[in-house]
């Protein structure tokens, strides 16, 4: 009886909640997971500490962090001297593309993930985007991801040699509450994750940026205790 062949996957792990669950899904699907994070000059650099903890807890075999200096370009509240909005209402969060949008970020991250997949011979890349709660971010939607898959097939050695490169976005159609419940079922330790766009130097979440508010509401809707300590919780708008 032959053993099943283990397949490797590259899993984007930001340190946030979604990518932790995406990593757990990849593990549950039987992939040998190579976690990939980015030091991109993000204001919330603490998330890299969280990413390392998540990769270890969920069980990646390897965790690499690639530096890409997006501060040289700027254009976002996360990579330039632009204030992170706080205390916005649910309607405000849901409308339009926020200033925390980082130009072409997932395009850049997926390109580097595709390079990494090519080097280790993986055909699968997991990204924890979801289009439901973050409808404002255009690079969290499936048509964009399909276009990146096509570019990867045409523009890489692996692609032209006939490998299929699959960019998997298992959370794309799930709400934050559904993602939290799924992660809980896989034993993801959410206390290790960090969602805040503007944490304290020690990594304490602000509780008032869009990302904190979406997280707080997600746990509430899921009926699961949020293990996060917030400096100040809730909207004030």
Q: Which residues bind its own copies (CB under 8 A)?
A: 64-70, 72-75, 97, 101-108, 110-112, 114-116, 118-119, 138-139, 141, 143-144, 147-148, 150-152, 154-160
Residue reference for tokens 């692609």: 159
3 vs 154, beta carbon nearer its own copies: 154
Closest CA to 34 of 50, 10, 13: 10
H/E run at residue 33: strand 31-39
Please identify, using beta-carbon distances, which residue of 110 and 174 lies nearer to its own copies: 110
The secondary structure of residue 113, as a DSSP letter, is H
Put the strands of the sheet holding 124-126 in their side by side order.
Answer: 31-39, 7-12, 124-126, 166-168
Asked whether 224 and 208 are in contact (CB, 8 A), the reply is no
- Minimum distance, C-beta of residue 131 to its own copies, in the bound complex (Å): 12
Residue with Cβ nearer its own copies (108 or 233)? 108
Decide whether 132 or 151 has the Cβ nearer to its own copies: 151
CB nearer to its own copies: give 83 or 154: 154
Rounded to the nearest whole angstrom, what is the least distance from the CB of residue 114 to its own copies in the complex? 5
156: tokens are: 């890489």
Closest distance to its own copies from the beta carbon of 85 (Å): 16
155 Cβ contact partners less than 8 Å away, ≥ 6 residues apart: none
Residue with structure tokens 């909640």? Answer: 17
Cβ 83 to its own copies shortest distance, Å: 17
Least distance from its own copies to the Cβ atom of residue 128, Å: 16
Residue 162 or residue 223: which is nearer to its own copies going by CB? 162
Q: Rounded CA gap, 118 and 110, in Å?
A: 12
What is the Cα–Cα distance from 152 to 236, expressed in whole angstroms? 44
- As measured in angstroms, the least distance from the Cβ of 224 to its own copies is 32
């Amino acid at each position: 009886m032959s053993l099943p062949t283990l397949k490797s996957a590259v899993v984007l792990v930001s340190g946030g909640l979604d990518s932790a669950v995406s990593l757990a899904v990849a593990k549950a699907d039987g992939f040998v997971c190579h976690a990939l994070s980015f030091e991109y000059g993000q204001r919330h650099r603490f998330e890299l500490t969280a990413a390392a903890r998540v990769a270890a807890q969920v069980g990646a075999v390897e965790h690499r962090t690639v530096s890409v200096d997006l501060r040289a370009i700027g254009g976002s509240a996360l990579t330039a001297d632009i204030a992170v909005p706080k205390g916005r209402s649910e309607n405000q969060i849901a409308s339009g593309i926020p200033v925390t949008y980082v130009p072409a970020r997932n395009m850049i991250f997926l390109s580097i993930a595709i390079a990494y997949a090519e080097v280790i011979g993986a055909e699968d890349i997991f990204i924890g985007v979801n289009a439901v709660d973050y409808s404002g971010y255009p690079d969290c939607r499936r048509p964009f991801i399909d276009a990146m898959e096509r570019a990867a097939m045409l523009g890489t050695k692996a692609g032209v040699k006939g490998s299929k490169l699959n960019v998997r976005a298992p959370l794309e159609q799930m709400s934050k509450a559904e993602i939290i419940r799924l992660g809980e079922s896989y034993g993801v330790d959410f206390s290790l994750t960090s969602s805040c766009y503007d944490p304290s130097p020690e990594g304490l979440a602000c509780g008032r940026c869009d990302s904190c508010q979406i997280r707080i509401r997600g746990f509430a809707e899921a009926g699961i205790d949020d293990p996060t300590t917030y400096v100040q919780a809730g909207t004030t708008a």
